[in-house]
Amino acid sequence: MFPLQRNRRLRTNESIRSLVRETSLSPQDFMLPMFVAEGKDVKVAIPSMPGIYRHSLDNTIKEVKEAWDLGIKAVNIYVKVSDNLKDNKGVEAWNKDGLMQQTIRAIKDAVPEMIVMPDVALDPYSIYGHDGIIENGQLINDATVDALTRMSLSHAEAGADFVAPSDMMDGRVLAIRKALEENGHHNVGIMSYSAKYASAFYGPFRDALDSAPVDSQNIPKDKKTYQMDYANRIEGIREALLDVEEGADIVMVKPGIAYLDIVREVKNAVHVPVAVYQVSGEYAMVKAAAERGWLDHDKIMIEQLYCIKRAGASIISTYFAKEAALLLNK
């Protein structure tokens, strides 16, 4: 009751504001998504994602070492697959000498303590740009799960700390967990993309990997039969709970800033860490507005990351990871 309570007393200066601040943010909260390409000394800019590149393996290792020195403890790996290696079943995805498997081994050799979480989905390997196998114009769930399981085992054998299924197939977490256990990979974790919405925010990412669904009358033009309807809330909680029951160690909500209500709901429902992916479109919007002088880049970047953490994220996968870490370390 005013004047006995004056809430502004706790906002008087930065010292008291920092003392009572409810949410903290550090580089150790971040996971850095990385795009890997074939070749040597390759650094290809992604126009829709200023400051982000596809790197060859040698340059990827340099980036990983730099991230580690900044205090970033985890990387999320995606590979740009050559067109001649793509098919409808994603066979290249479990090639023990494939680009992803080479990358995992190289990172663990160079920075053994870095947590490596390779992406598990077939879209980079698919001639159709979908996260699974297509038959008669439909994405087939169970055959895709078998392929994802083989892919996950190959990642574990290469040295991955966690596998990260991002495909949204039904039952894939349970199948992967069983396969890992049966093959002795008891300590390899699963970070499941549990509440992954069919969002328009993913556009720049598909530019980065050239993995957009093909435009064909016989093939679905979007991913709405497996990614979630963005109008739904309860469905996201149900997906996360099911993944935990099936053996997920970490559950993810994707995208980030537009889905903070889902982040909080999932955080309240599960008893495992919650990851949030601040996706390519969210990154690109801040970059574009800042380039035009409409927003203060660093202030917006840090504010959004704080908001994601405040909503309940234990891990934030963000393309801002290195920039934010530099700023926070100062």
Say if residues 154 and 101 touch (Cβ distance below 8 Å): yes
Side-chain-side CA neighbours of 109 within 13 Å: the count stands at 11
Alpha carbon distance 327, 302 (integer Å): 9
Specify whether 254 is catalytic.
yes
Within 10 A of 329 (CB to CB), how many other CB atoms are there? 11
Q: Which whole-number Å values give the CA distances from 303 to 31, 67, 253, 275, in the listed order?
A: 17, 21, 19, 18
Per DSSP, what are the bridge partners of residue 118?
77
Task: Check 254, 287, 309, 322 and give the catalytic one.
Answer: 254
Task: Check 73, 86, 196, 223 and give the catalytic one.
Answer: 196
Q: Which whole-number Å values give the CA distances from 55 to 33, 34, 67, 74, 128, in the listed order?
A: 12, 8, 14, 17, 24
User: Can you tell me which residue has the tokens 């328009």?
Assistant: 200
Q: Where are the beta strands (DSSP E) in 197-301?
A: 250-254, 274-278
SS3 76: strand
- Determine if the peptide bond prior to 255 is cis (ω within 30°): yes
Within 10 A of 12 (CB to CB), how many other CB atoms are there? 10
Side-chain-side CA neighbours of 186 within 13 Å: the count stands at 1
Neighbour-count burial of 82, counting CB atoms closer than 10 A to its CB (0-12 exposed, 13-18 middle, 19+ buried) = exposed
Alpha carbon distance 151, 131 (integer Å): 13
Specify whether 196 is catalytic.
yes
Residues marked active site are found at 196, 254
